[in-house]
Chain A
Amino acid sequence: MDNSSSNTGVNPVKLKILILDDEPIVCKRLKPAFLKAGYEVETFTTSADAMERILEKKFDIVITDLKMEGVSGMEFLTEVKKQSPHTEIVVITGFATIEASKESLQKGVFRFVAKPFKLADILEIVEQLKNERFSITP
């Protein structure tokens, strides 16, 4: 499990992001990128740990893979929305079938990002989400 948080407590407007991907390299690289962009970030490589965490803490944005062992990404995002309807979700996946896209969009997913994706692109999507849904100016 990779569960480390960044909570500097310096900037009160920092949005909280949870990243769930069973491939450690994805978490390892996304975390510093979002930290550098001014977000508070927690990363998880198992859906069970992430599931536990969302019961304890509300996140503004969840970035999750869909296809994982154990609880699937779809079940996870359903639970996220149940716990915290205002949490925005971005799905990152290498296996985006039309059905999966449709289902997740119905569940309130903000955006689908196919792997491999550019670091700059996902940062831009989250930035867009921040501006549209959270009205926070940097």
Chain B
Amino acid sequence: MKNILLRFLPKFSSSKQNPEMIRSLFSKFQIILDMNTKLLEKMAVMERALGGEYIFDKAFLESSVSEANQLVYQVIYSLNTLTENRYSDLFDRFQIIKTYLEDILSGGLGPYSGRLTLPYPSIRLEMWPLTGFFSASLAEFGQHLGLQAPDGFVITTTGIRSFLQNNNLDHKIKEIADSLSADKLQNENALLTDIVNNSDIPKELEQAILDEVIKLSDRIGKNTLLAVRIDKVEQEASNQFIDIFDVAPSDILNAFKQCIARYIVKEAESLLQQISEKEISIAVAVYEMIQSKISGTVLTLDPAHSPLQAAGVAVNINNSFHESNEVKEKEEFFSVQRFYPFEPVESKILQKEATKRLPDDKHSLSIMDSGHRRGSSLLRKDNIISIVETAMAVERALGKPQKVFWSQKMSGQIVITQVKPLSSLLYDDISENDSIDDLNKQLEKATVLLAGGETAQMGVATGRLVHVAQDYSYKVFPLGAIAVADKASPNLSPILRRAAGLITETGSSVGHLASIAREVHVPSIVGASGALELLKEGMIVTLDAGECKVYHGIIEPLVRYGSSGMELYPTDPEYITLRQLLRWIIPLNLTDPDSPDFNSTNCQTFHDIIHFSHEMAVEELLNIQTRHKELRGIETRRLKLNIPIDIRVLDIGNGVVNLAAKELNTDDISSLPFKAFLKGLASNEMFDQQPGSIGLREILSGMDKTYTALNTPPEYAGQNLAIIAQNYINLTLRLGYHFNVINAYLSENPNKNFIYYRFVGGFAYMDRRIRRAKFITSILENMDFKVTVTTDLVIGKLKIIDRKYMELALKSLGELTAFSRQLDVKMESEKDVEDFIRLFTKRSKNIFLANRIKEQDQACSK
């Protein structure tokens, strides 16, 4: 594929001394920037669609993928033109991802479709068509959302198909269907034995299962018994399971065959249909057995309890408390508030003998730490709260009320063992009753505490408001409360895993925190100004994120009907397709350009490809003056400055207004980033024209250099060249003993903007140069640059910045260049570093820097 694509790549022209070449390279760079921005915008729309804000259809998904394909292709093409095809292997990565996306659009599961088995850590909720909903949900909660659920693996629908095909079971199943209808009971056992004894697991599948068993044993312990379950692949949850419990890991292949055999006997006709339609809809879950002391279920919205504020916890008494002769009923019930602090509302506790041991090994008359007697309830209050907290987290993740099956491990931990939506009981078509009028009447009467902001994730939540500062510890955030914060900062991400809802005063629905809210499906509004003032700590509210409203108190019909179907649920086919597509488009795995893994072969998503391409393109431009030596002879114009630095200018597109002039004044410069930089560079206060005091060591150190300089040009000798366009600057300053590059793009679109700054060298002895590097590092870091330092080489990067701040930063870089010009020789001690930081900040009048120093001083005085 790569070779075919390469044929279409234009041959790189290395014609010397031709500003057109630079213009052409720059235009490719601009294409990369433009396409990069467009793809980021496209990604934002696709990602926002996941939050339920948009109504979309399959055509939208198809056109989005098609546009994304074109944009990524153009980025790769342009990068290769810019770099003489150094990154042609990106075409291969692109082709692979494109194939996955096309497969997903046509109903497949991308690279997973062919997998015979899949371990829970690799499974996400949207993969249920391959794994069954039982495993997909346990994997999502246990492996990705931080809840407790059994670990395991799945023999996928693909694995089951290979087993059935290998054994020609369709003929046998036909016979079974016929014989069963003749004499069901008599034939069943014989048939089961026949299937188990006479069927073979294909070698490849057998190996895959055994490998998974070994890996699972490594994760959960070698002696843990397993359960094997047939899971019918249905949207949401199946009611039909066939289970074999307490299976030793060594007996897994036999248990698998037993399970399939039972299914064949039970569902011969359905299976025949699946085979004829080539649509196998069963998967097999193999998961760890939970040794529990007590178990039961929770309805996250108890329909029997009005008002609808309660979750109903049922405890299975037979499983835990062997008193069945005396107790007629099989369950104890607890109704509990659905939100923090999950106060008990009502309970139905069965009578027990006072001397019987309860699940926590106490008696009902035991004296507890509180000084009170324990009572005969099977569950203690803290257990009930943990169970409801867990169940509510499940409801939030799935967007609808659920029936959650739970077990309490011997260690006391609450484990989810199965989930099942309650929609069939409660949430079906709201048009079937009059409650919509009731809802509207109640909403008219309700007090709206806040209206405004943007929906990040649709949904309705009720709960207690908790104000969170940026440094708030997520560990103390009450589960199920609604968080209110000033900024939509990524620092709040862990809180989203505990919150029922989120409201922030600033931020946008395309921000990182909004993405996390969609990932965990927590109803959220961002950019709601005045939220902290209007929404008081401790208030109980109802949040309708789709409507961007917060109501005082609990609006029962709103809670009951939530967004009642207008949301996009994680189980909707469109959601599943979009989610799967996004897994190959949005995640950014290559984040650190300095890591050895930052290379084209590790690009796993479109985001990786465009981010990698952007970094490589900037790197290429950064080095353009050193890589293309012929630029030294290129025709440039001198820039007249009021300071003794000679800068030559090469305009590659609307960087200057006076096209004819042989010499340029600063007024002739129209390049936005260069103008901002020059403002700082030419500042009188910064450009100290007095030579620095040179000590004996510098003279000795410099003597060598001076001698060398006399014979060969200094290391960084050469002209100072600014390659400029309206939005771009690549400035290389070679001041003899240090080498300074500023590479920046400045536009109205923050996503395109960046500054790369590089500084190395000096005249003074190495320790003084290192001190100057420390000084530069501190100034850059105070301006939010990401800085890396290697001895006297300082590299600073600033990305995704708005125009105003970027102009300020560029002006300060100009000042920094002027100020630090001969600073190395003045850096006699470590104290000088600190003193010069303060002097620079004072002279710079950069308010941002001044505030940072003030903050640091305040922190020190504390």
Chain A positions near chain B (C-beta within 8 angstroms): 4-6, 8, 10-11, 21, 23, 25-26, 28-33, 35-36, 38, 41, 67, 92, 94-95, 115-120, 122
State whether the Cβ of B181 lies closer than 8 Å to any Cβ in chain A.
no
Bound Cα distance from A125 to B37, whole angstroms: 30
- In contact, B566 and A122 (Cβ under 8 angstroms): no
State whether the Cβ of B27 lies closer than 8 Å to any Cβ in chain A.
no
- In contact, A118 and B53 (Cβ under 8 angstroms): yes
Contacts of A33 in B (CB 8 A): 566
- In contact, A117 and B55 (Cβ under 8 angstroms): yes
Q: Taking each of B55, B436, B546, B572, which has the highest tally of chain A beta carbons within 10 Å of its own beta carbon?
A: B55
Bound Cα distance from A106 to B56, whole angstroms: 26
- In contact, A116 and B54 (Cβ under 8 angstroms): yes
Minimal beta-carbon separation of B55 from chain A (angstroms): 6
Bound Cα distance from A32 to B563, whole angstroms: 8
User: CB-nearest residue of chain A relative to B429?
Assistant: A4
- In contact, A116 and B436 (Cβ under 8 angstroms): no
State whether the Cβ of B327 lies closer than 8 Å to any Cβ in chain A.
no
State whether the Cβ of B439 lies closer than 8 Å to any Cβ in chain A.
yes
Contacts of B45 in A (CB 8 A): 116
- In contact, A116 and B55 (Cβ under 8 angstroms): yes
Chain B positions near chain A (C-beta within 8 angstroms): 45, 49, 52-60, 63, 429-431, 434, 436-437, 439-440, 455, 546, 561, 563-568, 572-574
A–B Cβ pairs within 8 angstroms, 22 of them: A8-B437, A10-B434, A23-B58, A26-B55, A29-B566, A29-B567, A31-B431, A32-B430, A32-B564, A32-B566, A35-B431, A36-B436, A36-B564, A92-B55, A94-B59, A115-B56, A115-B57, A115-B59, A115-B60, A116-B45, A116-B57, A119-B54
- In contact, A21 and B546 (Cβ under 8 angstroms): no
Bound Cα distance from A5 to B432, whole angstroms: 9
Minimal beta-carbon separation of A57 from chain B (angstroms): 16
Contacts of B49 in A (CB 8 A): 116
Bound Cα distance from A119 to B544, whole angstroms: 14
- In contact, A10 and B565 (Cβ under 8 angstroms): no
Bound Cα distance from A28 to B568, whole angstroms: 10
Minimal beta-carbon separation of B5 from chain A (angstroms): 30
Contacts of B57 in A (CB 8 A): 21, 23, 25-26, 94, 115-116
User: CB-nearest residue of chain A relative to B431?
Assistant: A6
Bound Cα distance from A135 to B178, whole angstroms: 67
Contacts of B60 in A (CB 8 A): 94, 115-116
Minimal beta-carbon separation of B736 from chain A (angstroms): 58
Bound Cα distance from A23 to B55, whole angstroms: 11
Contacts of A120 in B (CB 8 A): 53, 455
Bound Cα distance from A4 to B428, whole angstroms: 13
Minimal beta-carbon separation of A97 from chain B (angstroms): 14
Contacts of B565 in A (CB 8 A): 28-29, 31-32
Minimal beta-carbon separation of A33 from chain B (angstroms): 4
Contacts of B52 in A (CB 8 A): 119
Minimal beta-carbon separation of B573 from chain A (angstroms): 7
Contacts of B63 in A (CB 8 A): 94
Bound Cα distance from A95 to B63, whole angstroms: 10
Contacts of B434 in A (CB 8 A): 8, 10
User: CB-nearest residue of chain A relative to B62?
Assistant: A94
Contacts of A32 in B (CB 8 A): 430-431, 561, 563-566
Contacts of A117 in B (CB 8 A): 54-55
Contacts of A122 in B (CB 8 A): 55
- Tell me which of A21, A36, A115 contacts B566 (CB under 8 A): A36
Bound Cα distance from A120 to B454, whole angstroms: 11
Bound Cα distance from A92 to B60, whole angstroms: 12
- In contact, B573 and A25 (Cβ under 8 angstroms): yes
Minimal beta-carbon separation of A5 from chain B (angstroms): 7
Bound Cα distance from A94 to B67, whole angstroms: 14
Q: Taking each of A21, A23, A29, which has the highest tally of chain B beta carbons within 10 Å of its own beta carbon?
A: A29
- In contact, B431 and A4 (Cβ under 8 angstroms): yes
Contacts of A92 in B (CB 8 A): 55
- Known contacts A25-B57, A29-B565, A41-B431; 10 additional CB pairs below 8 A are A4-B429, A5-B431, A23-B58, A25-B573, A33-B566, A35-B564, A36-B440, A38-B436, A38-B440, A94-B60
